[in-house]
Amino acid sequence: MLNQAIAKLQAWFPAAAVHAHCDGPCGVYDPSSARIAAEAVLSMTKKLVDLEVPAGGDKAASVAYHNTFARYTAIKEEQAQITKDELLVLWTDYFKPVHLEQFPDLHDTFWKAAKLCSACKVEVSVQHANELMEAVQKIHGIFWATKNRDVSWYTAS
Amino acid sequence: MSLLENHLGISPQPPSQLRHSQLTDLVLWLLRQRRRFRIVGASMLPLLEPGMEVLINPFAYGQQRPQPGDLVVAEHPRQPGLLLIKWVVYIDADGCFLRGLNVVESTDSREFGLVPWVGLVGQVVCRLP
């Protein structure tokens, strides 16, 4: 009988809502977007280094060479900036003070990774592009560790 | 044990039961010593189902701090006015770390960090009825 009275009260006077849900924006983060861009940086850097200079006097070959060189450079520049943007979003939006306790070198890791993005734009350096990939892999490991998930590292290329 | 718990050297147990209300709880509610809330969302499954009602004690943390394992209602640190129901994982000098039971569905301290003491609205004491 008491429960019936409660049920009536509940029906007549709705209770305030208390939320046990994902309130959105849902905070979907994944370092794989940085990884894909960093892979493009490494790929373009390697292609730039391997690009053969055409023989002198061949105008058409020279035009094609410069066009290809410019395109590779533009893509490298763009993808390095995307890598940097993706990393900065993870750093500033996903990671919280509690993660810093867990990974004390978090700030240093992101700072160095962002610096490598800049280096990959300024230079045509396979070494720095590889170091950028290593930095993104390290961040991948930290990120998934904070989520207690075992997500193995892989690359598309 | 999660890395976080491992790091802190603790393994707090999430709440697994919530008793039904008794006559005393109803009297306290009528005397405005309890507040009534209805659950919206699935982040506290399997313990709290959407649509279920609970009573909270808004005065529970006036004198004492929450304990790990407590069920609490708290205000979202970045969305004033949005009330959340979560459980306390651990207590820090600046506030407490809250989590949902159904972690896949939950937005909690993993995302918004510690909830400051002033953000705590009260302790969940029982379901209604």
Confidence of residue B5 (pLDDT cuts 50, 70, 90): very low
- Give pLDDT, residue B7: 45
* Mean of per-residue pLDDT scores for chain A: 89
- In this model, does residue B45 exceed pLDDT 90? no
The verdict on pTM exceeding 0.80 is no
Pairing of strands B35-40, A16-19: parallel
Q: Which of A13, A18, A22 to mutate to test the interface with B (most CBs of B within 10 A)?
A: A18
The tens digit of pLDDT for each residue in B102-120 reads: 666 566 777 777 888 888 8
| Chain B residue whose CA is closest to A14 | B38
* Contact assignment for A102 to B26 by CB distance below 8 Å: no
| Chain A residue whose CA is closest to B21 | A3
Question: Residue A7 corresponds to which tokens in the numbers above?
Answer: 């049920």
* Contact assignment for A102 to B3 by CB distance below 8 Å: yes
What residue spans of chain B are helical by DSSP H? 3-8, 23-30, 109-112
What separation in angstroms does the CA of A27 have from each of A61, A77, B92, B118?
A: 49, 28, 24, 25
Q: Is the peptide bond prior to B15 cis by the omega test (within 30 degrees of 0)?
A: no
Residue of higher predicted confidence among A1 and A152 = A152
- Give pLDDT, residue A52: 93
Sign of torsion over alpha carbons A47, A49, A50, A53: positive
The tens digit of pLDDT for each residue in A33-76 reads: 899 999 999 999 999 999 999 988 899 999 999 999 999 999 99
Using a CB–CB cutoff of 8 Å, tell me whether A156 touches chain B: no
Model ipTM value: 0.77
| Chain B residue whose CA is closest to A4 | B129
- In this model, does residue A23 exceed pLDDT 50? no
User: Residue B99 in contact with residue B5, Cβ under 8 Å?
Assistant: no
Question: Residue A115 corresponds to which tokens in the numbers above?
Answer: 């610096």
Using a CB–CB cutoff of 8 Å, tell me whether A17 touches chain B: yes
User: Residue B126 in contact with residue B18, Cβ under 8 Å?
Assistant: yes
- In this model, does residue B1 exceed pLDDT 50? no
How close B31 gets to chain A, by Cα (Å)?
Answer: 15
The tens digit of pLDDT for each residue in B52-97 reads: 899 999 999 888 888 888 999 998 877 778 888 888 888 887 788 8
* Contact assignment for A19 to B41 by CB distance below 8 Å: yes
- In this model, does residue B4 exceed pLDDT 60? no
- Give pLDDT, residue B11: 62
